[in-house]
Every structure is written in C-alpha cells, then in structure tokens.
Amino acid sequence: MNRTARRKLISNIMMALTGVCTFLTVSTLFLILGYLLWNGGTSVDWNFFTKLPKSPGETGGGMANAIVGSAQIIGLAALIGVPIGFIGGVYLAEFGGKTMSFLVRYTADLLNGVPSIVIGIFAWTVVVVPMKSFSALAGALSLAVMLIPIGLRSTEQFMLSVPLPLREGALALGASKWKTIATVVVPAAIRGILTGMILGVARIAGETAPLLFTALNNQYWSAGFNQPVATLPVMIYYRAISPYEDWHRQAWAAGLVLLAMVLVANIAARLILSRGAGAQRG
C-alpha cells in the first residue's frame, strides 16, 4: 500500500471513529429514556399521585406529599430567584458599568459552578442554624441561590440581543431610559427571558443534594414552610437505596415523572425559542 493510500485509510478510519463516538454519546439518551419507561411506566398510576407513602416494607402507597412538597419548594425558590435574576440581568444589559458588570457576570458564572451540595451547606448555615429546624424555606433558599445566576445571565443575554435601533427609536421619541427598557426592550426580549427562566426552574427541579439537609424529608404532608418537607428527588434517592422491592418500583415511577417534567420543559423552551427566531427573521 503506498503512502497516500495509507494516509487516506487512516483518515477514513479516524473520521469513522468520531462518528462512533457521536453514536455512543447520543444513544445514551435513548437508553436512559427507554430504561426508565420500561421500569417506571407500569408503576405510574393513580395511587402514585394521590396516596401518602407507606411505612418501610409495606406495599403500596404513593408520593402525593412529595409532589406537593416539590411544587412548594420550587415555587418559593422561583418567587425569590426569578425577580432577583431578572432585575439583576436588566442591570447587566442596560445600566452596567464595565467593572461592575464584569464582576457580577463572572461571579454569577462561578456561582453557577459551585457544587450543589456546597450550596446546601450554605443554606443550612443561614436558615437551618438560626431557625434550629430543617425547613422547606431552607430548601427553597438553596434552590433560589442556584436559580439566580441562571436567570441573571439568560435575561442579560436575551436583552442584549434586542436590536439597538429599537432602543434608539424610543429614546428619540423622548422616552426616558427606564421607560424605554420597560415598554420596548423587555417586551421584545420577554420570550427569551421566559425561556431562560423555564430552563432554570427545570434545572433546580431535579436537584437533590442541597435538599438532603435543608428541606430534609417527611413521611406526611408538610405543616408549613418552617417544617421539613418531602420532595420528589429526595424521595427517589431514599427509595432507590432502600432494600424493598416495592420502593424500588416507586423510585422508578418517580424518576420517570421527574424526567418527563424536566425534558418537556427543555424541549418546550427550545421550541419557543426557535419559533421566536423564525418570526424575527420573517
């Protein structure tokens, strides 16, 4: 075999191998989905959504309290995190001076990279220690801390993508800066900002580690935001590592429900964005 032929052969083999890498990585997603559907599909029933958990070893029961608990915690986290992220993002996109913007932006990115378990410790020190009790509030705060940098950066990104002439038009008509932002820039970017927030909430919805020692867990309905509360991800964790067959079945069901919610949010966000881009171009 001559040199050129050999080089061509090597090239073809290596390029084919990169295809194999792609196949292996993409197929992981379908393996995960298929396996979860296979194992959890039959266990997602009416009981799962309406019944309280049974005591260890007993068959039956559901995760109604964990579903409500997750909704409580995520709702409160969004209530804290979305406004802070949004308004902070407006600052970065519209008002920020060079140094301050860089500092906030870089810190937000670093905060985004902090392991979630460390965020959990933080929430424990600022809420659980002074209140002397594990609570839904502590769990919600830890998730809000994770949501803020995501909301901030996506708000900034989508506001910056609003064309400059739009702002100039409003300013030229005599509108003040904040009026321009409130009536022109934000409405133009709102679709993107909402999408970013949806993605952020989907990301915190699956977080488990920071809830382990903030929201803790609960076999019953939560009595209030100052009490421990059950959540879906934490429930999956304890069910999965338990020795009971029926609890494993419930872990699969809960995993399927959680993953379905996260994936639907992600795909919906993607669709909203691509349609928005199409409309702007057209």
Partner 1 sequence: MGNTAAVVAPSPGGARRFLKRLQDGDEIAHMLTLIFAASVLLIAVLLVYELWIHSSESRQRFGFNFFFTQTWDPNSGQFGALPYIYGTIVTSVLALLISVPLGVGAAIFLAELAPARVSNMLTFLVELLAAVPSVIYGLLAIFSLVPLLRTYIEPGLKATLGFLPMFQGPIYGIGFLAAGLILAIMTFPFIISISREALLEVPREQREAALALGATKWESTWQVVVPYAKLGIMGSIFLALARALGETMAVTMVIGNDPRIKASLFAPGYTIAAVIANEFSEAVNGLHQSALIELGLVLFLLTMILNAGARLLIIATTKKGSSRE
How far apart CA 121 and CA 130 sit, in angstroms, is 13
Binder of partner 1 out of 20, 55, 132, 279 (CB under 8 A): 20
Instruction: Determine the Cα–Cα distance for residues 281 and 149; give it in Å rounded to an integer.
Output: 29
Choose which of 203, 218, 229, 230 interacts with partner 1 (CB under 8 A): 203
- Is 71 a binder of partner 1 (CB under 8 A)? no
Q: What is the identity of the amino acid at 89?
A: G
Helices (H), 114-211: 116-123, 129-131, 136-160, 164-172, 177-180, 186-205
Question: Residue 273 gets which letter from DSSP?
Answer: H
Residue 153 binding partner 1, by CB under 8 A: yes
Amino acid present at 272: I
92 binds partner 1 (CB under 8 A): yes
| Residue 32 within binding range of partner 1, rule CB under 8 A | yes
Binding of partner 1 by 276 (CB under 8 A): no
3 interacts with partner 1 by CB under 8 A: no
Q: Give SS3 for 162.
A: coil
**Residues from 162 through 181 that contact partner 1 (CB under 8 A):** 176-179, 181
Kindly state whether residue 198 participates in binding partner 1, applying the rule CB under 8 A: no
Q: Which of 60, 75, 83, 224 binds partner 1 (CB under 8 A)?
A: 83
- The verdict on 161 binding partner 1 (CB under 8 A) reads no
Could you say which of 1, 2, 3, 21 contacts partner 1 (CB under 8 A)? 21
Which residue from 43, 65, 195, 208 is in contact with partner 1, where contact means CB under 8 A? 208
The answer to whether 209 and 117 have CB atoms below 8 angstroms apart is yes
What are 144's strand-pairing partners?
A: none
Is 213 among the residues that bind partner 1 (CB under 8 A)?
A: yes
SS3 content of the chain, % helix, strand, coil (to 5): 80, 0, 20
- For partner 1, which stretch binds (CB under 8 A), given 3-11, 52-60, 186-194, 219-227? 3-11
Residues 137 and 224 sit within 8 Å (Cβ to Cβ)? no
Question: Is residue 263 involved in binding partner 1 (CB under 8 A)?
Answer: yes
Any contact of residue 247 with partner 1 (CB under 8 A)? no
Residue number with CB closer to partner 1 (172 or 263)? 263
Q: Are 179 and 110 in contact (CB under 8 A)?
A: no
Asked if 11 touches partner 1 (CB under 8 A), the answer is yes
Regarding 25 and contact with partner 1 (CB under 8 A), the answer is: yes
Residue 279, Cβ density class (10 Å: 0-12 exposed, 13-18 middle, ≥19 buried): exposed
Cα 156-161-164 angle, rounded to 5 deg: 110
Contact pattern for partner 1 over residues 40 through 69, marking x by CB under 8 A: ------------------------------
Q: Does 127 bind partner 1 (CB under 8 A)?
A: no
Among the listed residues 67, 82, 124, 138, the single contact to partner 1 using CB under 8 A:
124
Using the structure block, give the residue that is written with the tokens 């909704």: 71
